[in-house]
Amino acid sequence: MNERVHTWLVREGGRLRPVDLVVLDPPRGGLSRALICALARLMPERITYVSCNPATLARDLKWLLARGYVISSIVALDLFPQTFHVETIVKLRRASELP
């Protein structure tokens, strides 16, 4: 069965707790608001976000930071030299978690 991640998380997310780590690698359009909300309800301790689009990454980080996450680290990788493409990996943790 194929379905959107946020649809599955809304239905099954309550059975997944506690969640230590979620790894995100969305398409260039980034995360949907529904998925951000589903992730906030899931409350993973850590999130690793891999992005190929700095604009949607910035938008999604704004949403995640507003929902109680802080940035632990950011790394930019030039996987395609001499092009404008950059992959960015951001590690986030819940603000209540000790460093």
Residue 32: domain span: 5-10+18-94
List the CATH number of the domain containing 51. 3.40.50.150
Burial (CB count within 10 angstroms: exposed 0-12, middle 13-18, buried 19+), residue 83: exposed
Q: What is the pLDDT along the chain (99 residues), one digit of tens a residue?
A: 678 787 888 788 778 778 899 999 999 999 988 888 888 888 899 999 999 999 999 999 999 999 999 999 999 999 888 888 899 999 999 997 555
In a domain, 47, yes or no: yes
Q: Rounded to two decimals, what is the model's pTM?
A: 0.85
What end-to-end distance do the CA atoms of the chain give, in Å? 39
Q: How many domains does the chain have?
A: 1
In a domain, 99, yes or no: no
Q: Which residues pair with 94 in a beta bridge?
A: 69
Two tokens, residue 62 = 């704004």
Two tokens, residue 17 = 């707790």
List the catalytic residues: 52
In a domain, 40, yes or no: yes
